[in-house]
């Protein structure tokens, strides 16, 4: 395979950076990231950097995808809401992990492209995609075992806590447009426990609860 050495290097780098979830590393090894980047950028697909995918959006660093996913401690069969489908790469990782994925994208062309990619990779029965305002969550499909927000939120998304199951986890970058803190929320005994993880930068979340 043309990308085999790049994939092996990426997985090794992720492991050395602290990604210990072997199921996650296996999923990232199997999902072909080069199919989720813009044409002409395939050779950069396995470098640890964000790449533009059009419409002012990006595909996140592989290390960011790994860190966010690992923090959720997902199990096969869990029901996960993704806010911000983008290219569909994060959704593909969630599907590969055996989760039932509900994903929302506000940019219609991106959503349609992502849907085609996910179906081409045989994840048809693992995901449901909706075009709309993801910042509101997906109340009709709640509650979820986990929620992952792949765009920068201006404030703590308290309105999403009711969409979590008991022991549910929510991960979201919170802060200013230029700098956010990746934050994990866990719901236990109907109380929300908050942990700040790291500083990073995402594209802004759009919608009623976004920018």
How many distinct helices (H) and strands (E) make up the chain?
Answer: 5, 9
130, 103 Cβ separation under 8 angstroms? yes
For 142-175, letters b (16+ CB in 10 Å) and e give bebbbbbbbbbbbeebeebbebbeeebbbbbbbb
**DSSP classification of residue 117:** H
What span, in angstroms and rounded, lies between the C-alpha atoms of 149 and 197?
14
Would residue 60 show up in a list of annotated catalytic residues for this protein? yes
Strand partners, 146: 80, 169
What span, in angstroms and rounded, lies between the C-alpha atoms of 127 and 186?
23
Candidates 17, 60, 63, 87; catalytic one = 60
Catalytic residues, by residue number, are 60
């Amino acid at each position: 395979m043309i990308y085999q050495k790049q994939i092996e290097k990426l997985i090794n780098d992720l492991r050395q950076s602290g990604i210990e979830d072997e199921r996650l590393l296996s999923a990232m090894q199997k999902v072909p990231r080069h199919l989720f980047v813009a044409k002409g950028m395939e050779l950069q697909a396995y470098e640890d950097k964000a790449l533009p995918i059009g419409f002012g959006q990006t595909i996140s660093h592989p290390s960011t995808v790994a860190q966010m996913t690992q923090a959720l401690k997902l199990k096969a069969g869990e029901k996960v809401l993704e806010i911000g489908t983008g290219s569909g790469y994060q959704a593909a990782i969630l599907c590969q992990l055996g989760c039932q994925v509900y994903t929302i994208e506000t940019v219609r062309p991106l959503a349609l492209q992502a849907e085609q990619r996910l179906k081409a990779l045989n994840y048809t029965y693992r995901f449901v995609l909706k075009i709309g305002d993801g910042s509101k969550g997906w109340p009709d499909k709640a509650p979820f075992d986990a929620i992952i927000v792949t765009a920068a939120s201006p404030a703590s998304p308290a309105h999403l806590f009711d969409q979590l199951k008991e022991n549910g986890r929510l991960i979201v970058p919170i802060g200013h447009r230029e700098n956010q803190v990746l934050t994990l929320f866990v719901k236990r005994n109907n109380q929300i426990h908050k942990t700040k993880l790291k500083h990073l930068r995402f594209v802004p979340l759009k919608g009623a609860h976004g920018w």
